[in-house]
Structure 1
Amino acid sequence: MQTAKPRLNKVNQGHPRPPQLYFHCTDRSAIKTSNLPDRIKVALHNVSFAHPFLISLRYQRTFNAGWATSMGIIYKNPSLVEVICELHWELTPVAIPPNMGVDPFLDVIRADLTPRLNAAGFVNSQELAHPQVPRQFLAWQPIVRFAPAPDTWPKIQLGPGIFTVNMAGPNYTGWPDFQPAVDSAVGALIESFPTPEKFLRLKSLQLKYLNAFTNKHDYQTYAQFASTYLGLKSVLPSAFIERIGVTAAEISTNSQTKLPISTPSDSYITVQVSEGLVNQTPGCVLQLAVEKTSKTEPKQIMPWFREANIAAREAFQSLATPRLIELMRPEEKR
């Protein structure tokens, strides 16, 4: 999807919601008409099918073989804004509003979880919703946030049917450093959930990496950056573009592409690219999200997050051009 003047998307740490621009890729023919970079299209055509109509995204460093992909790499000029590990579970449906629900265990979970998090150092709590707002209107929205202190990370959020662990980009030093906090927080949730093996009916797991590129990454215009550094192309026919009288460099293409992946299993990755404001400065917003929407047992949560992190990392390193990676100044973590 595209628009000549795409709506700006503000980047706010906590619970970003990029524009819902959607393209769902399910077979090889769909790849040809997508606006993915040519190098991604070539790789996807060469990978094996996990299912006759589901394309595996295991291109495994096809394009950036010259760049290290170990977990010891950090960027001196990073683009990362926030990392979010998110769990959703089923709610008890209500008639009004439609597609909403209530969480019968929320008060019990919060009462038990709070002292566990306090003992782990998350002693600061912040209410995110007015207490008089009916709970059914807050389905899958955080209502309380825990942190060691107001301006420190990571942060943990809880609400009806939702639990998140968030880390700010400037504080993120790699998955090995972040994983223990996620593991501890998820473990506390499971211990606080009444009979989790029976009542914790997970509906989705999500790992999101929100990136923002600005002038420090040679951002001049959205069209210039998306084309030069991410390889995005217009999906409009060339004849139409020529008739309008514009060049490819003048076209701003917001994009959302969704691809099934083989690892982690029963999951898919979504790549969203849009124009946005980063601390009131124009920039390019890139979100990589790995998600699983099938049944998951509590003991499978952390293994899934570990595999999802690998998938997201490889997707980013394959989408970003070598020139962009160079601008981010990668180096081995010491």
Structure 2
Amino acid sequence: YVVQHRFRKDKDKWPLIQIGPGIITLNDTEGYVWEDFEKRIQHVLDVLFEAYPEADSNLRINWLLLRYIDSIDFDYEENDIFSFLRENLKINIKIYEKLFEETGVGKLPLGFDLRFSFPAKKPKGAIHLRFIQGKRKNVDVLIWETHVQSVGEDTPKSKDQISTWVTDAHTLTDDWFFKMIEGELLRRFE
């Protein structure tokens, strides 16, 4: 799938709608509020289904994805990412200590990309977590992504089913996000 057209209100402004053969995306970052984003999703669905005559039989939807990308400043040279993940995001990764003994290898990673996928029942499909070292405006950050994805037979086909899927996917990602950041990290976001 290749995005061929991008639509924004102004240059480099959000939201962004992208379309091409087999793909349509809605992206937002600045001033994200779920209720507004949900309305935009519904509008995109309305336009998409209106553009297809007999959409129920002519529009093939192979997969759906709702992805959230969050980040927080993190100094990788001064702080232990494994401690941060454990204490602030409830993710416990422990590397076997003996790997570092008498090997000349430092315990702080130069980079990392952790991914996990779990089956989901509502909506049917999978929820994915990803934690990766990155940069935002030339500052080191911890990026974490929460995705809900339905593929193939798990993918809803009608506009109403997709709307329900979107609500269920958001409910799941929202639940996981706030459970992970509960405590000190939540206070940093407030």
Q: Please state if 1:320 is matched with 2:181.
A: yes
Match of 1:192 in 2: 51
Which of 126, 133, 158 is the aligned partner of 1:298? 158
Within 5 A, what are the aligned runs for 1:103-118?
none
Flag structure 1 segments of 5+ consecutive residues without an equivalent: 1-139, 330-334
**Deviation string for 1:196-222 (max 9, x for gaps)?**
2112111110000011111xxxx2227
Q: How far 1:243 moved relative to its partner? A: 5.0
- 2:170 maps to 1:309: yes
Residue 10 of structure 2 is matched in structure 1 by 149
Q: Which residue, out of 288, 295, 304, partners 2:146?
A: 288
Output aligned runs, 1:19-38, within 5 Å. none
Matched position secondary structure for 1:176: helix
Q: How does 1:1-334 map to 2 (within 5 A)?
A: 140-168=1-29, 170-173=30-33, 175-214=34-73, 219-221=74-76, 223-224=80-81, 225-242=84-101, 244=103, 250-251=108-109, 253-264=112-123, 266-293=124-151, 294-299=154-159, 300-329=161-190
Structure 1 residues 199 and 243, CA gap change in structure 2 (3 angstroms): farther
- The code of the aligned residue for 2:128 comes to T
Does structure 2 retain, via aligned residues, the 8 Å contact 1:260–1:267? yes
Are the counterparts in 2 of residues 172 and 178 from structure 1 also a CA contact under 8 Å? yes
Conserved in 1, the CA contact under 8 Å of 2:86 and 2:93?
no
SS in structure 2 at match of 1:202: coil
CA distance in 1, matches of 2:100, 2:180: 25
Q: Would the aligned equivalents of 1:201 and 1:295 in 2 still touch at CA under 8 Å?
A: no
Task: Give the letter for the 1:220 counterpart.
Answer: D
283 and 223 in structure 1: CA distance in 2 versus 1, 3 angstrom threshold: same
Give per-residue Cα distances to partners, 1:172-203, cap 9 Å, x unaligned: 12x11221111011110111124321121111
228-237 or 279-288: bigger deviation: 228-237
SS in 2 for 1:284: strand
Letter in 1 for 2:69: L
Change (3 A) 1:247 1:317: farther
**Contact 1:275 1:282 survives alignment (8 Å):** yes
- C-alpha change, 1:307 and 1:237, in structure 2 (3 Å) is same
Distance, in Å, in 1 between the alignment partners of 2:93 and 2:43 is 44
Q: TM-score, normalised by structure 2?
A: 0.84
The answer for the alignment partner of 1:56 in structure 2 is none
3-state SS of 1:256 partner: strand
CA distance in 1, matches of 2:101, 2:53: 62
Q: Encode CA deviations 1:213-264: one digit per residue, 9 max, x unaligned.
A: 11xxxx222743435422444453333244546676x246431000112211
For the residues of structure 1 that align with 2:100 and 2:144, how far apart are their CA atoms? 25
Residues in 1 aligned to 2:43 and 2:122: alpha-carbon distance in whole angstroms:
24
- The answer to which structure, 1 or 2, has the higher relative contact order (CA under 8 A, 6+ apart) is 1
What is the number of residues matched between the two proteins? Answer: 182
Gaps of 5+ in 2: none
Q: Which has the larger radius of gyration?
A: 1
